[in-house]
Copies of this chain bind each other. A is one copy, B any other.
Amino acid sequence: MDSAVVERHRSRARVMKAMAHPTRLFIVEELSQRERCVHELTEMVGVDMSTVSKHLALLKSVGIVTDERRGNEVYYSLRMRCVLKFFECIEDVLAFGCSACERKS
């Protein structure tokens, strides 16, 4: 395959992959309601703050969220709201995907 084409798909996959994690999906969903600081998100998710911080850094690195420091806290907000469109489709896949019914796990 053409290397330009490969690179294009790599970029796209990077964006998809940024969302492809339970915690990060939760964060995106949460930020769609309102901005949150790392401390708040950490409480909600229930893992180490450094872990949450790294998830946020990843989401930021592809441009899905932005951050803004206000005093001690860093507030994150959803920058690309279009990603919310994914959720509806994903629910459809989960509902319709009958291979999901056949699946063992």
Contact = CB atoms under 8 A, between A and B. Distances in A.
Q: How many copies does the complex hold?
A: 2
B82 A92 contact: yes
B85 A97 contact: no
A26 B9 contact: yes
B12 A45 contact: no
Summarize A's interface: helix, strand, loop or mixed. Answer: helix
- The range of chain A's interface size is 35 or more
A52 to B, nearest CB: 12
Interface in A5-64: 5-6, 9-13, 15-17, 19-26, 44-46, 60-64
Interface of A: 1, 5-6, 9-13, 15-17, 19-26, 44-46, 60-64, 79-80, 82-83, 85-94, 96-100, 103
